[in-house]
Structure 1
Amino acid sequence: MSLARFSLPQRLRRPPVLPPPAGRAQDRCPHRGAATRSVTVLTAVAAALVAISPPAGVFMAGRAHVEAALEASAALHAVEVAEMARTNPAIWQSDALQIPAPSRGRAADELRRVYDVAGRLVMESRPARPVAWPIASRLEAVQVGGVRMGDAEATRSLRGVLLGTLLASLLSGALGILVFLLLRVLPIRRMDAALRRASHLATHDLLTGLPNRVHFADRLDRAMARARRQNGAAAVLCLDLKRFKSVNDTLGHAAGDDLLKEISRRLEACLGRDDMLARLGGNEFAVLQMPAVQPQAADALARRLMAAVAEPVVLSGGQAVVGLSIGIALATPAGSAECGPAYDPAVLMQNAHLALCQSKQGSRGAPCFFDPEMNHRLREKRSLEIDLRQAVERGEFRLAFQPQYSLEQQRVSGAEALLRWTRPGHGNMPPDQFIPLAEETGLIAPIGAWVLEEACRCAVAWPGELGIAVNVSPAQFRQGGLEEAVEAALARSGLAASRLELEITEGVLMHDTEETLDMLQRLRRRGVRIAVDDFGTGYSSLGYLQKFPFDKVKIDRSFIQRLGQDASAGAIVRAVVGMSHALGVRANAEGVELREQAELLCAEGCEEVQGYLFGRPMPAAEFLRLVDTTTVAEAVGAA
C-alpha cells in the first residue's frame, strides 16, 4: 500500500489557515449580521450628518443675518418715527398713513409699519414687491421724551434663505450619499472578510485547518439534536496518535507539525460526506459519524483510519511510522443507567474518551467500543481515590515486617517494611491494587514519607544492628522530595543511617539516570544502604551495577520458585550470586518457601534470604518476638 493512496490531489487540499468559502454554513460568523447592522447604522448616521449639517448651517446663518438686519432696521425706523412725532404729534391720529419705502439697499424689500400704544396701525411703507412667505419681523418701541408712544415694525422675507438652504441640501445630500456608499460598501466587504477569517481562526486549528474542540462541540450538539428528532444513530470516535512524542523528540517539532498535517489529510480522505474530523489538541483527534448503520459503520471507518495512518510518512528529517488508538461511543435512541442519557453530547464524548483509554492500554491495536463495564471501573477508581486520600488524612495505613535472615550468621539480619491498608467496607487491600493509583495521583509522596518515618520509628527500638528495608517507588524520584523525606525520617526517629536500606527497582534508573544516580550517591555517602529489588526482571542490569555501587542485589522470586525444577533458573541464581561476590555486593533471595530452596541457596553462597519459609509479614511486636530465634534452623523448624 503506497503513501500516495492517502494523499489528496493538490486542487482538493484545503489551506490550513485561509477561511473556507462563505457558503459553508458551519463556517459562517454568528456575529456577522449584528456587526453589519451596526456598521450600517453608524454609516447612515455619518452620511445623515454630512447631508444635514451644511443646509442647517446655511439656514441658521441666513436667518441670523436677516434677524440682525431687521433688528438694526427696526431700531433705526423707531428713531425716525420718534423724530417725526416730535415735529408732528398728529401722526398718532393718522389711519394707515402710507409713507414712501426706501429705494436702495436691502431695506427696499422691507415692509415697515408703525402702531400706536393700542396696537392700531398708524403708518406703513410697502416695498415695490410684496414680502413673500416665510417672513421674519422685529418690533422696536417708539419713545418720545421717555414715554412710549407706539411700536415700529420691520418685516423681511426668508425665501432667499430657504432657496439657499435648498441648494445646499441638494449638494450636501449628494455628498452624504457618496459618503454612505464609500463608508458602507468597502468597509463592509473588508469587515466581512475579516470576520469570516476571525471566525475560521476561532473555530479551526491553525496547524491543520481542521475544526477545533469548540467547533466540534457545537457541531456535536446540533448533530445530537437532529438525531434525537429523527430517532437515528450516531458515533463519536476519539483518536490518539501513537509514537508521536518520539517523532518530536528525534526529528524535531517542525517534523512533528508536518506529520500532523499529513495525518490530518489522510484521515480526511477516509471520511464520508456527512462525517466531521476535528483536532482536539496535541495528537488527539475526534470524528463525528452520522447518519449510518451502527456499529458496523463506525468499526469500518475506524479500521480505514488505522490503515491510513499505519503507512510510513516521509518527513524532511527522515521517515516516521506511527499508529492510531481509537475509542468509539455510540448514540442510541434509548439511554441507560450505564451509558447515560440518549443523545447527550457530554456523555457521548466521555464514553468515547473512556474507550480510547481502554484502547491505549490494550495491546491488540484494534478499535475499542465503549462498554458499560468501563464506567463501573471508572467509578470504582474514583471511589478508591477518594478512600485513599481519606486514608492519608486519617492515618489508616499500617506496616508489616517480613524477616530477612542471614545464612552466614544464622540469625535474623533485619526486615522489609511492607505497606498495608484496611479499606473501610472492603477489608485488606493488596498494595498492587492501590499503589499504582497512589503513583498516578501523586499521593505516593505523602504515603512514602509516612512509610519511611514509621519504619524508622519502629526499627530504632530493635536490638543490635538489625536493619530496616523500605521500598521506594519510581514516582517518588520523579516527584522529588525523597532525599528530604529520608533525612526527616532519620532525624525524627534517631535511627542510624547505616540501618536504613532503600530498595529501588531498575525502572527508577531508566529515567533521569544521572540525576537519580547523583541523589543515590548522596544518600549512600550519608550512610544509607541502597539495594536493587527484583534484579533480573528489568533491562541493563549489569550496566546499572557498573554505574552505581549498590550494597545489595535482591534476586527476583520468579527465579527462586523454579530452583530445583528448572536448570536455567539455577544457572541464573548461580550467576547472580557469583557476580555479586565479584563486585563485593550482598545477595538476597526473595520468595523462599521450601527447605530445598534454602539449602540450594546456601550451597551457592547466597548471604541472605527472605520468604514464607522464614516468616510471613507480621506486626512490629511479633517481629521482635521472632528476633529471639537465634538460628535459621530454629526459625525453619518453627515455621
Structure 2
Amino acid sequence: MQSLRDTSSNNLTMRRARHVREWLAEASQEPVTVLLLGIKDLKQINDRLGRAMGDAVIRRVGQQIRAFAEQQLSPIRLMAKMPGREFMLVVDGNAGGKQLELAAQKLLEMVSVDLGEGAAPLHINARLGIALSRPTESRPNLAARAADALAKAYGRKGKRYVVAEAQAPFNPAMEQVDVALRSALAAREIVILLQPQFEVSSGRLVGAEALARLNHPQLGEIGAGDLFASADRCDLREELSHLIQDKAINIAAAWPAALSDLRLAVNLGAEELTEYYGAHLLELVAQAGFAPERLTLELTEESLIRDLERTAGQLELLRAKGMRIAVDDFGTGYSSLAYLKSLPLDYLKIDKGMTPDIVGTGKDRIIMRAIIAMAKALGMAIIAEGVEKAEELEMLRAEGCDYFQGFLRSPPLAPAEFERFALRAN
C-alpha cells in the first residue's frame, strides 16, 4: 500500500483516519512504535477563542508534527490526523529506551511552541501515548494500547507522556470498539435513532429521544452504552456527544411542517456542561434552524450536582431561550435531592429499571408513588422509560405519570421510519 509507506523525508503527508483503518487492516508483523498525540485543552480553545482558532491550532500542530517527523532517523510508516484532537505517528522499529523518551520530549516541545496569531501567545497542553509493538500482536491491539496510554497521560500531571506496559492485559472486544469509535467519529458515521415519546393520558405522540448507534461490519450494532464507555476510555466523550447532538438536531430540523409540534430530547454528559456550553448549543440550534423551545436536554444527576452554581447558570441561559431540562435516569444516581430545588428543571425521567416496580406491591410502588408526588409538588412532569407492558402503563396513568416511552408502543426508529410513524400516529 504505497500511499501509506512513503517515508521520504521530503514528502511526508498528513493522512486521514481512513488511512489508519487501512493500516490497521494490514497483517504485517514488522516492528513499529505508535505515538498518539492529543491536544488536551482543544475544547477550551474552541470555547474561548472560537472554532476557527481551534481549527487553526490543529493545522499548526499538524505542521509541527510534520517537522518533527522529518527530523527523525527512523522512517515514518504513517502520519495521520485522528478524530477530534488527536494525531497518530507510526515509526519503524520498537527499540524503546532513552532514544524514545528523548523523541517524545522533543515532539511535545515542538507542538508546545506559541501557536497564536499576532501579539496574543497561545500554547497548548499536549499529551502523548506511546506503544511498542509486540511479536504476533495485531495492529488494532497495538493502537488500543497507545490509546490507553494517552488516556492515562491526559490525567497525569508533570510528565506528559505515558509508554504502554509491554504485557498489559487488554480486552479484545473493547479494543475493537475503541478503534471503531475513532474511525466512526472521523467519518461522522454515528447513526441516530429516535425513541418515540407519548402522553400517558391520551396516547398522543409528543416527541422523541435521540439515541446513538454504530453499525459496524464486523462487530454488528454497537449501542450507546458501549459507545460512551469507549469514548471515556479514549477521552473522546465530548466529541461523541457533540456529534450526536449535531446530527439529531439537524434531523429534527428537517421534520415536515405536520410534525412541528413534536419535541426532541438529547442527552448531555457531565463533562460538557462548562461555562461555554450554553452558547455553543444555541449556536448549533440556530445553524440547524431548529426552534430552541422544541428541545429538551436530558442530564444525569451526576451532571447536575457536579458544580451546582455553574450548572444553574448554564441551564437558566438555555431555559430562557425556551429549552426544557430533564433529569435522566432518576432514582439510580445520587441520594441528595438538594439540586431539585436549586436548579431550573422541567421533567424527572424515571429510569427504565424502576418502571416494572409500578405494578409491584408494598415498598416498590410506594417509592414510585412518592417520586411522582414529589415531582408534581415541585412543578415537574414525569417521564417513564422502558414501558413494555399494558399493566405498567395503566398503573402509571393511575399514579399521575405524564409521559412514557418504551417497546409497548414503539422501539427506537430510524429517522425516516420515525417520520412515517409520526405522520400516521398524529
**Same fold flag (TM > 0.5):** yes
Deviation of 1:596 (Å):
0.2
Q: Would the aligned equivalents of 1:562 and 1:569 in 2 still touch at CA under 8 Å? A: yes
Which residue of the other structure, out of 176, 187, 193, is the alignment partner of 1:400? 193
1:210-359 maps to which residues of 2 (within 5 A)?
none
SS in 1 for 2:373: helix
Which residue of the other structure, out of 410, 423, 427, is the alignment partner of 2:216? 423
For residues 587-611 of structure 1, the C-alpha deviation after alignment (integer angstroms, 9 at most, x for no partner) is: 0011100000000000111110111
Which residue of the other structure, out of 230, 241, 264, is the alignment partner of 1:448? 241
Aligned residue for 1:474? 270
Amino acid aligned to 1:534: D
Aligned mates of 1:400, 1:541 — CA distance in 2? 32
Aligned mates of 1:420, 1:336 — CA distance in 2? 34
SS in 2 for 1:558: coil
- CA RMSD after TM alignment: 2.8
Deviation of 1:544 (Å):
1.1
**Within the alignment, does 1:490 sit opposite 2:275 as a pair?**
no
Q: Would the aligned equivalents of 2:196 and 2:209 in 1 still touch at CA under 8 Å? A: yes
SS in 2 for 1:405: strand
For residues 218-240 of structure 1, the C-alpha deviation after alignment (integer angstroms, 9 at most, x for no partner) is: 9xxxxxxxxxxxxxxxxxxxxxx
Aligned residue for 2:325? 530
SS in 1 for 2:337: helix
Aligned residue for 2:367? 572
Cα distance 1:514–1:540, how it changes in 2: closer, same or farther (>3 A)? farther
Percent of paired sites with the same residue:
33
Higher mean displacement: 565-574 or 604-613: 565-574
**Within the alignment, does 1:611 sit opposite 2:406 as a pair?**
yes
Which residue of the other structure, out of 345, 367, 385, is the alignment partner of 1:590? 385
Cα distance 1:603–1:336, how it changes in 2: closer, same or farther (>3 A)? same
**Within the alignment, does 1:551 sit opposite 2:346 as a pair?**
yes
Deviation of 1:491 (Å):
0.8
Aligned residue for 2:23? none
Unaligned segments of structure 1, at least 5 residues: 1-216, 219-334, 339-349, 358-369, 632-639
Unaligned segments of structure 2, at least 5 residues: 1-96, 99-133, 138-144, 153-164
Aligned mates of 1:624, 1:411 — CA distance in 2? 15
Aligned mates of 2:336, 2:418 — CA distance in 1? 33
1:54-453 maps to which residues of 2 (within 5 A)?
375-377=169-171, 381-453=174-246
SS in 2 for 1:448: helix
Aligned mates of 1:485, 1:497 — CA distance in 2? 13
SS in 2 for 1:563: helix
The structure whose Rg is larger is 1
Which residue of the other structure, out of 583, 600, 604, is the alignment partner of 2:395? 600
**Within the alignment, does 1:623 sit opposite 2:410 as a pair?**
no
Higher mean displacement: 380-389 or 398-407: 380-389
Q: Would the aligned equivalents of 2:210 and 2:265 in 1 still touch at CA under 8 Å? A: yes
Deviation of 1:627 (Å):
1.7
Q: Would the aligned equivalents of 1:439 and 1:475 in 2 still touch at CA under 8 Å? A: no
For residues 324-379 of structure 1, the C-alpha deviation after alignment (integer angstroms, 9 at most, x for no partner) is: xxxxxxxxxxx9968xxxxxxxxxxx9xx99xx9xxxxxxxxxxxx997x5342x6
Number of equivalenced pairs: 269
Aligned mates of 2:352, 2:177 — CA distance in 1? 29
Aligned mates of 1:440, 1:371 — CA distance in 2? 19
Aligned mates of 1:523, 1:495 — CA distance in 2? 14
SS in 2 for 1:549: coil
Aligned mates of 1:423, 1:566 — CA distance in 2? 43
Amino acid aligned to 2:353: S
Deviation of 1:442 (Å):
3.4
Q: Which has the higher contact order (CA 8 A, sep 6+)?
A: 2
Q: Would the aligned equivalents of 1:452 and 1:470 in 2 still touch at CA under 8 Å? A: yes
Aligned residue for 1:43? none
Cα distance 1:425–1:565, how it changes in 2: closer, same or farther (>3 A)? same
Aligned residue for 1:509? 304
Aligned mates of 2:280, 2:232 — CA distance in 1? 16
Aligned mates of 1:597, 1:470 — CA distance in 2? 25
Q: Would the aligned equivalents of 1:449 and 1:485 in 2 still touch at CA under 8 Å? A: no
Amino acid aligned to 2:177: L
Aligned mates of 1:445, 1:548 — CA distance in 2? 23
Deviation of 1:382 (Å):
4.5
SS in 2 for 1:616: coil
Cα distance 1:440–1:524, how it changes in 2: closer, same or farther (>3 A)? farther
SS in 2 for 1:584: coil
Aligned mates of 2:389, 2:175 — CA distance in 1? 41
Cα distance 1:600–1:394, how it changes in 2: closer, same or farther (>3 A)? same
Aligned mates of 1:431, 1:630 — CA distance in 2? 27
Higher mean displacement: 485-494 or 522-531: 485-494
Higher mean displacement: 492-501 or 539-548: 539-548
Deviation of 1:612 (Å):
0.7
Amino acid aligned to 1:441: C
SS in 2 for 1:592: coil
